[in-house]
Amino acid sequence: MAEATSNIEFAHRIHESGHHGGGPGGHGQEWLEILEAVVLAAVAVLTAWSGYQAAKWDAQSTAAYARGSGVAVQAQEQQTLAGQEHLYDIITFDSWLEARHHGDESLAAAFERRFRPAYAIAFAAWMKTDPLRNPNAPPGPSFVPEYRSARLDRAKELGEQARADYERGVATRETGDDYVRITVFLATVLLLTALAQRFRIRAARVGLLSVASVMLFVALYWILKFPRA
């Protein structure tokens, strides 16, 4: 917004300087002054609008980055908890396997009762493959298709959401930068208009003002083309 404010103040000073410094020149001088006033007014409005849009897009970008960071923390938390649950599953299964190996069915049954519900489903599917006699059976319940981790699935969803928020933040930041570039472009229009008012040679003044007008229309085209917050 500082760039936009400086452009507007500069346009006001140029108009005052041109108004007090202009001399008599007939109708040609009058329409040039009118055109200069129109250009300055348009630059002031477009600069204010571009600055406003740049600030809005920058705020949206910051919010997207903040959301992405928060979601990424949640994804990491879910992934950590999923790892802890997987470690618990491995420990209880190894204990069950050892109890079965020593023929302690009562202890093995106690470990089965301590399986997590999701792991118990995978364990039942694994037992159907007759793993104690079938050499082609999966190494353990963790390797059967029925083994699922809700926390790990949630971590993947949150990770994708965090990535989307980050990409949205990048895109909105680039859009805000585009509007900032427009304010810089409009500053060039102000400079050309100021130079035009300093020339007493009509052709030079008309030439500079023509270039400034073309650049003004280009800036207007960009503003209409770019998305608005």
Task: Write out pLDDT tens, residues 126-170.
Answer: 999 998 889 899 999 999 999 999 999 999 999 999 999 999 999
CA–CA dist 136, 110 (Å, integer): 27
- The residue-averaged pLDDT of 114-118 equals 94
* Ranges 12-16, 30-34, 92-96, 218-222: which has the least confidence: 12-16
Helix (H, G, I), strand (E, B) or coil at 200: coil
Residue 72 — left, alpha, or beta (φ > 0 → left; ψ -120 to 50 → alpha)? Answer: alpha
**Average pLDDT value for residue range 98-121:** 93
Structure tokens at 198: 């300093």
Report if pTM > 0.75: no
Higher pLDDT among residues 209 and 8, named by residue = 209
Sequence-distant (≥ 6) Cβ neighbours of residue 129 within 8 angstroms = 137, 138, 144
Structure confidence at residue 19 (pLDDT): 47
In one letter, which amino acid is 27?
H
User: Helical H runs in the chain?
Assistant: 2-21, 26-101, 105-113, 117-127, 150-198, 202-225
- The tens digit of pLDDT for each residue in 17-72 reads 544 444 444 556 788 888 888 999 999 999 999 999 999 999 999 999 999 999 99
In this prediction, residue 8 carries a pLDDT of 52
Q: Cα(24)–Cα(87) distance, rounded to whole angstroms?
A: 90
Phi-psi region of 20 (alpha: psi -120 to 50; beta: other; left: phi over 0): alpha
DSSP helix/strand/coil, 141: helix
By percentage, how much of the chain surpasses pLDDT 70? 88
Q: What is the pLDDT of residue 5?
A: 54
Q: Please answer whether residues 182 and 215 qualify as being in contact, where contact means their C-beta atoms are separated by less than 8 angstroms.
A: no
- Of residues 143 and 8, the one with the higher pLDDT is 143
3-state secondary structure of 23: coil
Mean of per-residue pLDDT scores for the chain: 87
